[in-house]
Amino acid sequence: MTPVAHPTAKVSASNLQSGARVALLGLAINSVLAIAKITAGVLGNAYVLIADGIESALDIGGSAVIWGGLKFAARPPDATHPYGHGKAEPVAAAIVAVGVLAAAVGLAIQSTREIFLPHHAPAPFTLVVLIAVVVVKESLYRSVMRIGRDVESTAVKTDAWHHRTDALTSIAAFVGISIALLGGSGWESADDWAALFACALIAMNGCRLLVPALHEILDTAPSGEMCDFIRVAAAAVPGVREVEKCLVRKMGLEFYVDLHVAVDGAISVRDGHQIAHAVKNTIRATERRIADVLVHVEPAPAAQG
């Protein structure tokens, strides 16, 4: 018999595919912006713009990793991965976060070197390029983050923060180049100091992206609201005397629940089995993100006379 996919699995796969499409869009936009910024930086003698362009180029790799991770996470469960491939999603986010941190260190080293090297003041037209970049990247951040929150994807939200960081580094570049232009002779290195500041922003963002990805990889329990909701739903099922344990972990975009419920110890095994199924169906029917619920039935303590 061919297994029939549960609606939860279909929703999760659809959400993962949506996230993959968003990552692909980000990859295309970052490709265009990276070329534009690096070219403008070289022609306009603005190292901060070159550094910003390199960061966008690294974002291309990050979007590619996110896209690949989401595509892999969308694969259905199989014999070797009975819980599915959802862990690929936070793993992809962690890889990208580490790449961001490495890029921040590399760019900071190069920015420091440039401060002590003589060079020409940046060209005014580079400011126009940066304004366009800020508008595009902030708009992209808002749209991608909205999708990431809707599907609760760590990887998609990581990709969104990439766009926000790019906007922030471009603002820092704008300030640095403006100072260099207004200050005139002796202020040519202002854009290099701005690049160094941008590296600090990139590093902070890398840490911000890495922490939630590691939490998910290590099966950190979700917020208390999820557990409270599950306990209330289970306790409302007829026959359930008490909810003793509620363990929840996130796998990709889905949640798996391990629940211990206490029932009347005098009922039959069949009746206890039916109560367990009722608990499972109730929880899954009221929260579509829950892929499976493992219910352990325990005898309730005898009433004290």
CB neighbours of 7 closer than 8 A, spacing ≥ 6? Answer: 288
Spell out the domain ranges in the chain: 7-217, 224-299
H-only helix segments in 44-86:
47-73
Residue pair 154/216 in contact by the 8 Å Cβ criterion: yes
The tokens describing 87, both together, are: 């862990």
- Tell which residue, 167, 161, 164, 191, has the closest CA to residue 179: 191
Backbone angles phi, psi at 5, to 5 degrees: -70, 135
Whether 7-217 shares its CATH topology with 224-299 is answered no
Q: Say how many residues make up the chain.
A: 305
- pLDDT at position 3, please? 41
- Tell which residue, 17, 24, 52, has the closest CA to residue 38: 52
- pLDDT at position 5, please? 46
Calpha distance 251→39 (Å, rounded): 42
Please tell us whether the domain made up of 7-217 is placed in CATH 1.10.760.10. Answer: no
Please tell us whether the domain made up of 224-299 is placed in CATH 3.40.50.360. Answer: no
Does the global pTM surpass 0.85? no
The tokens describing 230, both together, are: 């599950």
- pLDDT at position 276, please? 92
Consecutive 10-residue runs of the chain (305 residues): their mean pLDDT? 45 61 76 86 78 74 77 80 80 84 81 72 82 88 83 75 79 81 73 77 82 82 78 91 87 84 90 92 84 89 58
Residue pair 291/256 in contact by the 8 Å Cβ criterion: yes
- pLDDT at position 118, please? 66
Give the rounded distance of the alpha carbon of 131 from its chain centre.
26
